[in-house]
A and B are shown apart, each in its own frame.
Chain A
Amino acid sequence: MDRMDFIQGVTRTRVLEKKLLSRAKIDRIIEAKDIDEVFKALNETEYSHAIAETSRGEDYENILSYELKKLYKTMREITADQSIVDLMALKYDYHNLKVMIKEKELNKDLSELYSPIEVVDFSKLKENFLEGNYKDMEPEYREAIEEVERDFEATKDPQRIDLILDRYYFKHLYKMAEEVGIELFIHYVKDIIDFINIRSSIRLKRQGKDIGFFEDVILPNGNIDREDILFTLKDSVDNMLHKFRNSRISPGLLKGLESYKETERLSDFEKYMDNYLMEINKPSKYVNFGPEPIFSYILAKETEIKVLRIIMVSKLNNISPDAIRGRVRDLYV
């Protein structure tokens, strides 16, 4: 990959970065009286176009999905190498795979659940899937679909559809990051895998699942050894804190685990996970030659959309500004 190929893309990304919502703006939105005021505040921003087409507060999802679609369309236009955008878009493909398989098993129309963002041409993939024409599919998808179908045939357990596809997703994502070969992306993927493995450990501990189940759920390719994570299923949160004090993701992980210990709420853990992942992307702001700013901008914008979703849902349910502030994520700018 030639870093010089990204000069124009980075320049255009810099302009887009300027339009990201600032901390002060988000704070103002959090203080809004109700959802209508949130809309009014957003009217002076990039979101005004989507807001003009939405009349009711309850339809906030339309605004956010419009922006998300626009984000991927723009980024695909400005990047010299689609694989950078593919790294971030891959999750939507696997989401669509889940919907597609469940649609077939349930014999129900779930078309409103599909995401319009894709890496491969999804309508073609679906056509191949429904016609049983697996040999024309991308090998990663084919392998995943075949295993899910085999497993579902045997177990009839719909939870396993998600489990298996998630495992294939992270395997695929890691492979893509390695192919691109940029250090930030590989770190990013490895760190997410660590966080998710530890989150799974906490969740399964709460559900009282055994280690056999955990072995099925645990994702490969993280920084932390598989064995080390497997054994945490029996550990207390304190022990986990101690064990992972020197791991790569410690700065975020320790905060996450500590707040989990206090509140027993995994949503806090996830917040610190998001904050940490944003933190490792921040140096991209100072990269002028290379793909990092494009990747980081997509993450930044997705985080912004997530923050706005948190605020809007909270406004519709009359959550106090203080409680909202405790839930929103760190921003890129």
Chain B
Amino acid sequence: MICMFKIAVVGDKDSILAFKALGVDVFTVCDSEEARRTVDTIARNNYGIIFITEQIASLIPDTIERYDNEIIPAVILIPSNQGTLNIGMKRINENVEKAVGSNIL
């Protein structure tokens, strides 16, 4: 059987609602407690990729870190409609450094 993973996006309503049009499952959250619970629940429910806005991710760094060591789901940070906090890009740089040995970006 082919295993199909789903895609989720987590963040504040106005930033992420448009993802619905792409067929991505949208989960709106407001505070850290709700964000943590949502991410943990969807991670267990067959989601392969979880996009999460940087604003929300900055509230729950421990939870995000926890999924760094798991293959699935991939937690990917995206900027919200308030602009970027640069955490997402920083994480990519760090990962590249870890993989190649130096920062080539």
Asked if B18 is an interface residue, CB under 8 A from chain A, the answer is no
Number of A-B contacts (CB under 8 A): 11
| B89 lies within 8 A of chain A by Cβ | no
Judged by a CB distance under 8 angstroms, whether B20 is at the interface is: no
Q: Is the CB of B81 within 8 A of A317?
A: yes
Report A311-325 CB contacts with B as 1/0, cut-off 8 Å. 001001110000000
In the complex formed, the residue of B with least CB distance to A318 is B82
What 3 A-B pairs are tightest by C-beta distance, nearest first? A58-B30, A317-B14, A317-B81
Q: How many residues of B contact A (CB 8 A)?
A: 6
11 contacts between A and B (CB under 8 A): A56-B30, A58-B12, A58-B13, A58-B30, A313-B14, A316-B12, A316-B14, A317-B14, A317-B81, A317-B82, A318-B82
Taken together as a complex, chains A and B put the C-alpha atoms of A316 and B82 apart, in Å, by: 10
Residues of B9-55 contacting chain A, CB below 8 A: 12-14, 30
| Min distance, Cβ A158 to any Cβ of chain B, angstroms | 12
Chain A residue with minimal CB distance to B28?
A58
**Least Cβ–Cβ distance between B79 and chain A, in angstroms:** 13
- In the complex, what's the smallest C-beta–C-beta distance from A238 to chain B, in angstroms? 32
CA distance A317 to B17 in the complex (A): 14
Residues of A within 8 A of B82 (CB): 317-318
Contact with B along A49-81 (1 / 0, CB 8 A): 000000010100000000000000000000000
Q: Nearest B residue to A56 by beta-carbon distance?
A: B30
A58 to B15, CA, bound (A): 13
List residues of chain B with CB within 8 A of the CB of A316.
12, 14
Binary interface encoding of chain B residues 53-83 relative to chain A, with 1 for a CB under 8 A from any of its CBs, else 0: 0000000000000000000000000000110
Against B, the Cβ 8 Å flags (1 = close, 0 = not) of A119-142 are 000000000000000000000000
Residue numbers in B under 8 Å from A318 (CB-CB): 82
Query: What distance in Å separates the Cβ of B58 from its nearest Cβ neighbour in chain A?
Result: 16
Chain A nearest CB: distance from B18 CB in Å? Answer: 13
Q: Could you tell me the distance between the alpha carbons of A56 and B13 in the complex, rounded to whole angstroms?
A: 14
Interface residues on A, range: under 10
Q: Give every chain A residue within 8 A of B12 (Cβ-Cβ).
A: 58, 316
- Which of chain B's residues have a CB closer than 8 A to the CB of A317? 14, 81-82
Provide the bound-state CA to CA distance between A198 and B13, in Å: 31
- Separation in Å of the B99 CB from the closest CB of chain A? 36
For chain A residues 295-333, which have a beta carbon within 8 Å of chain B? 313, 316-318
Smallest Cβ distance from A65 to chain B, in angstroms?
15
In the bound complex, CA of A203 to CA of B4 (Å): 37
Q: How far is the CB of A58 from chain B (nearest CB, A)?
A: 4
**Chain B neighbourhood of A313, CB < 8 A:** 14
A316 CA to B12 CA, complexed, in Å? 9
Complex Cα–Cα for A317 and B12 (A):
10
B63 to chain A, nearest CB (A): 20
- Measured CB to CB, the nearest residue on chain A to B83 is A318
**Smallest distance from the beta carbon of A324 to chain B beta carbons, Å?**
14
Nearest opposing residue in chain B for A59, CB measure: B30
Complexed CA–CA distance, A313 and B81 (Å) = 12
Instruction: Please give the distance in Å from A310's CB to the nearest CB on chain B.
Output: 12
Contacts A58-B12, A58-B13 given; 9 further ones with Cβ under 8 A? Answer: A56-B30, A58-B30, A313-B14, A316-B12, A316-B14, A317-B14, A317-B81, A317-B82, A318-B82
Q: Which residues of A contact B81 (CB under 8 A)?
A: 317
Most buried by B among A58, A313, A316, A318: A58
- Proximity bits, A222-249, B CB within 8 Å = 1, else 0: 0000000000000000000000000000
8 Å CB contacts to B: which residues of A8-61?
A: 56, 58
CB distance from B48 to the nearest CB of A (A): 22
Contacts of B30 in A (CB 8 A): 56, 58
A58 — which chain B residues lie within 8 A by C-beta?
Answer: 12-13, 30
Roughly how many angstroms separate A317 CA and B30 CA in the complex, as a whole number? 13
Instruction: Kindly list chain B residues whose C-beta atoms are within 8 Å of the C-beta of A56.
Output: 30
Bound CA–CA A56/B82 (angstroms): 20
**Min distance, Cβ A31 to any Cβ of chain B, angstroms:** 20
